[in-house]
Structure 1
Amino acid sequence: MKSRKISGQLLSTTLGLSLAFGVLSASAHAAVTDKDIINDQQTTDDVVSYGLGPRGQRYSPLDTLNTKNVKKMHPVWAFSLGGEKQRGQESQPIVKDGVMYVTGSYSRVYAIDVDTGDELWQYEARLPDGIMPCCDVINRGVAIYDDLVIFGTLDAILVALDQKTGKVRWRKKMGDYKAGYSSTAAPMIVKGMVVTGISGGEFGVVGKVEARDAKTGELIWLRPTVEGHMGYLNGKENGITGGEANKTWTGDLWKTGGAATWLGGTYDPDTDLIFMGTGNPAPWNSHLRPGDNLYSSSRLAIDPDTGKIVWHFQTTPHDGWDFDGVNEVIAFDYKDGRKTVKAAATADRNGYFYVLNREDGKFIRGFPFVNGITWAKGLDENGRPIFSETGRPGNPADSESGEKGKSIFSVPAFLGGKNWMPMAYSQDTGLFYVPSNEWGMDIWNEPVNYKKGAAYLGSGFTIKPIFDHIGSLKAVDPKTGELVWEFKNKSPLWGGVLATAGNLVFTGTPEGYLYGFNAKTGEVVYKFNTGSGIVGSPVTWEKDGEQYLSVLSGWGGAVPLWGGEVAKTIKDINQGGTVWTFKLPRS
């Protein structure tokens, strides 16, 4: 039922503008509970978490859409995000009780009627001048809990909105945007807490994970992700992140050590652990900070009750290529003979795919998933990289001028064999579907000093293509490392992946196409052009016996900003901002 309109009502004078174009009746909404979120993968009439379940498998048991009928799938509505802020739409839709919640670039939130595509309300954060997002003005989505819609803003504010009206219920500062802190990840709900990371590693911030009471926003615990920094539990200091200052860092560099948790995390109810990745150490110039630089470029398992780091696995010790370690950790089980292995998988920017024991973080296996890796010769028995003697950019101090170290050509490029875009795991095929990219870079080091709010890199770079394609959607067997099938795309892949029980895999491309693939063979079984590059993550749900699929279209993100020679090849792709929703025709 369409409700009355309130046009141009000012709902928040300090943070933002929420235009309530429709107010939903209270009876239309049931409070979202922890049980709803835990069971999200099984409850197919909604999508109440980022990743279609806390483990982030991005798998749906729906099979109404399948390889036999998907060619008939067509759009039923398209919703424009409007305005001139159509740049980099990386959001994943959330669907609950007939309402879809999506975020847009420049920290906007929309509530949309899923039957009609009509806007119900819109919230637009009032951003200050001088925000410093590293990699475009994107936002990856909301969390919903109780009757709240929660998201982070580009000036590092966590905001909770009323689910029915879009009015601000609470707002909390996560960091100083003038120092380079920002927030772009979709928050995560664990045990009634909203768990968030922070962005800003390119500005020498200190990474951290925060857990707040989801209903009030009050801080419960805070866990820094650089050695030497103190954590907090219930307002009291509860120990540093592990080790002590200078243990794996040099001098005072731990004070501006980076390791930003900018992608957010996943949660495994079986082990009761939060899995969170950490970004690059700061600065990029690795010669300034000898040592492993914990906990940068790592995966962390965190106790949700205390914020304690239970185990860690560092994918790139002493990172000198900006490979980060933030990519999602996906919990899954597999059989090894008669034994069930509680595993976790992650595909790193450094080009290696890792399978870990998710109970203790022990390395099970690892293998390259992109071609021609130069920075390492392989992985040892513990999963630690075997560094190539010529694979690290040179030290400026060794040059005659002291201004520029020796340049090298490195594969993969710093944007990674896989970046933020989430992969999917099919419980039917046992395969991971990895949106990867094949590219390299010229990279060199330069002197640099920390200055608050200034870029803290100490490196220069140019990304270059190495084949006649860059993007590659790969179907990977995590038990063997076998590449089962591959779909090559001329431009980089920068959007998420969805797998379904209908033997389907969906993803989008910068050229604007939504693709559907046969999950077993890789055959293209669906293709639709949305009019702008797809860098969002598709979702599926059912209503009244029909299966729907939605995805955001709108080109942007890091590639056009940082892509070097690659960016030149995609400069003519149109920006946009549209939510597309599809289904089969009624029989």
Structure 2
Amino acid sequence: MYKKILGTLILSTLSGAMTAHAAGVTDAMIANDAKSGNDVLSYGMGTEGQRYSALTQINTKTVSKLVPAWSFSFGGEKQRGQESQPLIHNGKMFVTGSYSRIFALDMKTGAKLWKYEHRLPEGIMPCCDVVNRGAALYDNLVIFSTLDAQLIALDQDTGNVVWKEKVDDYAAGYSNTAAPLIAKGLLLTGVSGGEFGVVGRVEARDPRTGQLVWVRPTVEGHMGYKFDKDGKKTEIGISGTTNKTWPGDLWKTGGAATWLGGTFDAKTGLAYFGTGNPSPWNSHLRPGDNLYSSSTVAIDVATGQIKWHYQTTPHDGWDYDGVNEFVTFDMGGKRLGGKADRNGFFYVIDATTGKLENAFPFVKKITWATSIDLKTGRPNFVDANRPGDPTKGDGKTGSTVFAVPSFLGGKNQMPMAYSPKTNLFYVPANEWGMEIHNEPVTYKKGGAYLGAGFTIKTLHDDYIGALRAMDPKTGKIVWENKNAAPLWGGVMSTAGDLVFYGTPEGFLKALDARTGKELWKFQTGSGVVAPPITWQEGDTQYVAVVSGWGGAVPLWGGDVASKVNYLEQGGSVWVFKLASK
């Protein structure tokens, strides 16, 4: 499926291209990213991940005049899923593409300044398409991860490699797809590969050199380490307690991959990383809660210690995962975090202590649990809707259940947005279920480690996706905008009372943030599975989004995949501005 990529670096020198050394991105600039409207320096449009812009030139009254400013094609045969969020700095756009590529474009014209293509080996094993979700900026570097589990830092002006570090062994199932996070001068990254029995972790590095500072595993029983300037490592304690929530030796291949990356809140000093499914999927092989899988872990950036954790799906038996972004916000005099989990529940959690404040469904149907106990924080399971134990039958296949949501989740990788102006979260939700059963499985390095079979099914004839405005205080759906195909792209809100999001049918849309009324849409030519951004240069506000259908749905989507097989792949970035008078 995945072809070998030839060439590593292609530079394009264009007349008029900037030759001056770029102004370095500082910690102060990153800390101010959410408030600054003239650039976009981090995934999430600010380390808190709110994806909110205070810009107002494009608003409910003017958005109908939005027109394309330019479009750039990623080119070649390397299409497939394009889930990247662009970054904007010093007149340049930095945008990653499928197959571990990154482009630097002239922000105003779309002219290509340089391109870097990472040389990928034949044996890469990404579970869910050859995607990349974006880069990080620091000093004069642009840093991104690759499908063969490496981190690469390039010079922003030239595209030349400044440093390159191996994260882990791709032959063991490790890969990297998330945008790195800069917090307190450190580069924070996770790992992908939960379907191959990897061990999840969060790493902190010096962004200027790539040198490790600390490593914190997210599977209970594994040791954390810190590193001195010479690379010598020192133990900083085991994550959790060995075998407390894991049986036997299964913790050694326990999953909990941190594949979506994290957020950081300067008010708490904590970085928040979601963790993926425990391995294998067959929950009957691993009694216990299986910490820290399907959880949010809050990590002290200075020390690499887990300060608190909250597990959304203890003893996960449905691949509900828990990597969904933890977005911090203020409500009722507290600093809280919102998380729309794949399991179908929205959680409001104290960002300092990890105490559950509220939990409520953001999808219309959930069968694996009836509710979340607000006192204990644990789900009230429906035991009959856990896939059956194969050893209780013929030893080959356990009883099949129909579970809702499907393992692709009430929400998956597509990031939601929060508006401090409306006090609402805007959640790209999906309504679907799955037939799922368990099977025997043993770990083999580099092999799929599931122990389950499944088929995803639709629940409604008229829609799968629905963009929903959620009130985190009441738990109510304020409005929704339904979509025939599943939503797989992210969301952005603005002070212009707008919500932008894309659809697999190819549209970038703008809705009224208070009512959900559709005010504008544009056909990009391929499905949108990426989050939009906005910024202002001089007196002009721009909106941008990457277009290119793919991701997990066409690969894993069962009956749903067959319903959307008419959608075409692509690979481009579109930029819009208001039409001139």
Q: CA deviation at 1:22?
A: 4.5
Q: CA deviation at 1:388?
A: 0.4
- Match for 2:13: what amino acid? F
Q: CA deviation at 1:200?
A: 0.3
Q: Distance in 1 between matches of 2:442 and 2:283?
A: 13
Counterparts of 1:320-399 in structure 2, within 5 Å, are 320-335=317-332, 340-380=333-373, 381-399=375-393
Q: CA deviation at 1:544?
A: 1.5
Other structure's SS at 1:291 match = coil
Q: Which of 46, 55, 66 lines up with 2:59 in the alignment? A: 66
Q: Distance in 2 between matches of 1:367 and 1:22?
A: 53
**Is the counterpart of residue 467 in structure 1 residue 460 in structure 2?**
yes
Aligned residue-pair number? 570
Query: Aligned residue for 2:440?
Result: 447
Q: TM-score normalized by structure 2? A: 0.97
Q: Which of 160, 175, 179 lines up with 1:186 in the alignment? A: 179
- Match for 1:563: what amino acid? G
Q: Distance in 1 between matches of 2:424 and 2:379?
A: 24
Query: Aligned residue for 1:299?
Result: 296
Q: Distance in 2 between matches of 1:536 and 1:420?
A: 9
- Match for 2:283: what amino acid? S
Query: Aligned residue for 1:171?
Result: 164
Counterparts of 1:432-581 in structure 2, within 5 Å, are 432-468=425-461, 469-581=463-575
Query: Aligned residue for 1:125?
Result: 118
Q: Distance in 2 between matches of 1:417 and 1:570?
A: 18
Q: CA deviation at 1:236?
A: 2.8
Q: CA deviation at 1:86?
A: 1.0
Q: Cα gap change, 1:410/1:545 in structure 2, threshold over 3 Å: closer, same or farther?
A: same
Q: Is the 8 A contact 2:216 2:239 kept in 1?
A: no
**Is the counterpart of residue 286 in structure 1 residue 303 in structure 2?**
no
Query: Aligned residue for 2:239?
Result: 242
Q: Distance in 1 between matches of 2:291 and 2:268?
A: 24
Other structure's SS at 1:37 match = helix
Q: Distance in 1 between matches of 2:152 and 2:21?
A: 23
Q: TM-score normalized by structure 1? A: 0.96
Give a deviation string over 1:514-549, Cα, whole Å, max 9, x none.
110000000000111101000011000001111100
Other structure's SS at 1:255 match = helix
Q: CA deviation at 1:246?
A: 1.1
- Match for 2:296: what amino acid? R
Q: Distance in 2 between matches of 1:372 and 1:113?
A: 46
Query: Aligned residue for 1:103?
Result: 96
- Match for 1:315: what amino acid? T
Q: Distance in 1 between matches of 2:111 and 2:19?
A: 18
Query: Aligned residue for 2:151?
Result: 158
Q: Is the 8 A contact 1:230 1:237 kept in 2?
A: no
- Match for 2:401: what amino acid? I
Q: In percent, how many aligned pairs have the same letter?
A: 62
Q: CA deviation at 1:238?
A: 2.9
Q: Is the 8 A contact 2:488 2:529 kept in 1?
A: yes
Q: Is the 8 A contact 2:11 2:113 kept in 1?
A: no
- Match for 2:322: what amino acid? G
- Match for 1:76: what amino acid? A
Q: Distance in 2 between matches of 1:15 and 1:425?
A: 41
**Is the counterpart of residue 87 in structure 1 residue 84 in structure 2?**
no
Q: Distance in 2 between matches of 1:481 and 1:128?
A: 47
Other structure's SS at 2:20 match = helix
Q: CA deviation at 1:16?
A: 2.2
Q: Is the 8 A contact 1:436 1:471 kept in 2?
A: yes
Give a deviation string over 1:46-83, Cα, whole Å, max 9, x none.
00111111100000000000111101100010000000
- Match for 1:557: what amino acid? G
Q: Distance in 2 between matches of 1:458 and 1:353?
A: 28
Q: CA deviation at 1:18?
A: 3.3
Q: Distance in 1 between matches of 2:273 and 2:340?
A: 14
Query: Aligned residue for 2:138?
Result: 145
Q: Distance in 2 between matches of 1:573 and 1:108?
A: 23
Q: Distance in 2 between matches of 1:547 and 1:118?
A: 19
Q: Distance in 1 between matches of 2:364 and 2:440?
A: 31
Q: Is the 8 A contact 1:18 1:167 kept in 2?
A: no
Q: Distance in 1 between matches of 2:7 and 2:180?
A: 19
- Match for 1:278: what amino acid? T
Give a deviation string over 1:321-372, Cα, whole Å, max 9, x none.
000110000010012xxxx011110000000000000010000000011122
Q: CA deviation at 1:413?
A: 0.2
Give a deviation string over 1:495-528, Cα, whole Å, max 9, x none.
0000000000000000000110000000000111
Q: CA deviation at 1:383?
A: 2.1
Give a deviation string over 1:23-62, Cα, whole Å, max 9, x none.
9545362100011111011110100111111100000000
Q: Distance in 2 between matches of 1:163 and 1:96?
A: 9
Query: Aligned residue for 2:20?
Result: 27
Q: CA deviation at 1:240?
A: 3.7
Q: CA deviation at 1:115?
A: 1.3
Q: Is the 8 A contact 1:121 1:166 kept in 2?
A: yes
Q: Cα gap change, 1:15/1:86 in structure 2, threshold over 3 Å: closer, same or farther?
A: closer
- Match for 1:79: what amino acid? F
Query: Aligned residue for 1:264?
Result: 261
Q: Distance in 1 between matches of 2:165 and 2:145?
A: 9
Q: Distance in 2 between matches of 1:20 and 1:126?
A: 18
Q: Is the 8 A contact 2:217 2:239 kept in 1?
A: no
Structure 2 unmatched runs, 5+: none
**Is the counterpart of residue 417 in structure 1 residue 410 in structure 2?**
yes
Q: Is the 8 A contact 1:28 1:97 kept in 2?
A: no
Other structure's SS at 1:397 match = helix
Give a deviation string over 1:405-459, Cα, whole Å, max 9, x none.
0000000000000001000000110000000100000000000000000000000
Q: Distance in 2 between matches of 1:190 and 1:426?
A: 22
- Match for 2:421: what amino acid? D
Give a deviation string over 1:156-199, Cα, whole Å, max 9, x none.
00000011010111000111000000000000011221100000
Q: Is the 8 A contact 1:365 1:383 kept in 2?
A: no
- Match for 2:233: what amino acid? K
Q: Is the 8 A contact 2:143 2:154 kept in 1?
A: yes
